[in-house]
Amino acid sequence: MSSQEFIVSACCHVIRLCLSGILTLAGRLDYEACSQYRLVVADDDTSQLIIVDVLNVNDETPQFSQSVYHVFLSEHCPLHTFVIQLVATDADSCHGN
């Protein structure tokens, strides 16, 4: 193996090492699927650990607890009458952003 040839630890199909030494994305990042990639780039003489942290963005679709909410209101209700409070959660909620 020449000094220009490196091996990137397998298991990572998302990040690719070019012969020039540049790492590029080869797949889509998804924080909820994998928030950190730990790559080992090595040749015969040395190896280097590269840690790539994926930053979370608010990209997950909110899910409501019910598919339909049915509300009954009397006619002539005053303005500002409470109607319903909806609560939705998504995979991004607990990670802040």
**Residues at the interface with Ca ion (CB under 5 A):** 30-32, 56, 59, 92
Which residue's CB is nearer to Ca ion, number 32 or number 44? 32
Closest CB to Ca ion among 44 and 59?
59
To the nearest whole angstrom, how small is the minimum distance from the Cβ of residue 46 to Ca ion? 35
Rounded distance between C-alpha atoms, residue 58 and residue 18, angstroms: 31
Pick between residue 8 and residue 14 the one whose CB is nearest to Ca ion: 14
